[in-house]
Amino acid sequence: MPTLLILEDDPDVAQAARLALRKLAAVAVRTAPEALPAALDEVAPDVLLLDMNFAPGASDGAVGLALLHEVLARRDAPAVIVMTAYAEVELAVQALKAGAVDFITKPWRNERLEACVQAALARRAPAPPVADELLGESSVMRSLRAQIAQVGASEASVLILGENGVGKELVARALHRASPRAAGPLLAVDMGSLPEALVESELFGHRRGSFTDARESRPGRFVAAAGGTLLLDEIGNLPLAQQAKLLAALERREVTPLGSDKPLPVDVRVLAATNLPEAELFDAKRFRPDLLYRLNTVVLRVPPLRERGAGDVALLLRHYLAHFSRGKPAREIEPEALARLTAYRWPGNVRELRQACERATLLANKPVLTWDDFGLTDLAAPMPAEPGLDLSRRERDAVQTALAQAEGNISQAAKLLGLSRAALYRRLEKHGL
């Protein structure tokens, strides 16, 4: 189960967050800033929920920003979500520029808090150093990097296509770094994890009292990302009704917060990403053509790992084994295991490979790594045709196997299958599971 650490000096606020998030992760709480270093070593959290002020009346966030820099300087830093009051929006933007993956304003709605933490858990860790991103010497990866260099300096909207785990967010980061907006924030919104009722509030903001539980006004992501880049991740999961409102915001370059009749101008470059096949994007019942044409001025296709060749797989294996060895010499892989690893189809793509390398580094107890050390199954291996066994049955069996391996954990089962949570839920409903 993933781990979450909350650093919040108000015990009541910390307890409220712990209760809201205990189904998503094993939650630990600390209330004093000086307890953070020891807690990071003890808990080894995947995500840190970090308050920014710890003294009565303080609002400058100096302590929180200092802690954020210390956390992100660690080799195995968690993803950091900062907590601020509405009046501290500029502070949240500072934290995003410094490397926080997200922010949440207090008081929060539990649905918003859960969606924020789920998205951070999906990313699991902040970006690796620039030199470590988008690794690969295959022709498709060299072509992708060349396209990023060419498109990055423009203001064009970019649609990033690719399966789960291929590195779509890394492409977005590379585009942001190559743009004139690099000094501004890069803010990602996981549209797949947002409840439909929260989409407008999340993107456009809301005013106090505009709906039940709207106790304070809150800026939307378009406003928070001003001067920078906004990544709309898993845009294919956005309901049609909300697509129309997003289109209007993009065309007018302004947003109207819920409960307000005054539009706010926005200055932001919009990137979008999805794991949907292109054919489904052109299905008008699924995605508005006018919104698609607004988003896909440039289309970048991120190749799945199985199409990048054995050379890229071997390169990535060496890279991540060295990364997780934490400065110690990386162990070798026995030749037979390496042959199987480079022939494996990697349904979860680079994300699955990274996790397999982490597992092997942590759990293997021999000097040379074997296939079993990586914890992979043959679930994704090519399957020969069998009389009487159709594709629907295979899909159902694969889903059942993944659920069993993940002990019913939907997020983990989705990772095993290389699917988003939403896509797995659709398959569960389809097969009556």
- Dihedral Cα 95, 99, 105, 108, nearest 10 deg: -160
Tokens for 149? 């260099």
pLDDT of residue 383: 38
Q: State mean pLDDT over 26-40.
A: 91
pLDDT of residue 274: 94
Q: Are 237 and 192 in contact (CB under 8 A)?
A: yes
CB atoms within 10 A of CB 56: 6
pLDDT of residue 125: 46
> How far, in Å, CA of 156 to CA of 175, rounded?
10
pLDDT of residue 130: 38
| pLDDT exceeds 80 at position 299 | yes
Q: State mean pLDDT over 113-119.
A: 83
| pLDDT exceeds 80 at position 207 | no
pLDDT of residue 203: 85
Q: Tens digit of pLDDT for each residue in 159-195?
A: 999 999 999 999 999 999 999 888 888 888 888 777 7
From the centroid of its chain, how far is CA 207?
27
Q: How confident is the model at residue 5 (pLDDT cuts 50, 70, 90)?
A: very high
The DSSP string of 85-152 is: EGGGHHHHHHHHHHT-SEEEEES--HHHHHHHHHHHHHH-SPPPPGGGTT---SHHHHHHHHHHHHHH
Q: How confident is the model at residue 333 (pLDDT cuts 50, 70, 90)?
A: very high
> How far, in Å, CA of 359 to CA of 421, rounded?
22
| pLDDT exceeds 70 at position 64 | yes
Higher pLDDT, 131 or 28: 28
> How far, in Å, CA of 324 to CA of 318, rounded?
10
Tokens for 304? 């799945």
Q: State mean pLDDT over 326-345.
A: 87
pLDDT of residue 385: 38
Q: How confident is the model at residue 258 (pLDDT cuts 50, 70, 90)?
A: confident
| pLDDT exceeds 50 at position 382 | no
Q: How confident is the model at residue 387 (pLDDT cuts 50, 70, 90)?
A: very low
Backbone angles phi, psi at 61, to 5 degrees: 70, 15
Q: Tens digit of pLDDT for each residue in 119-128?
A: 788 665 444 4
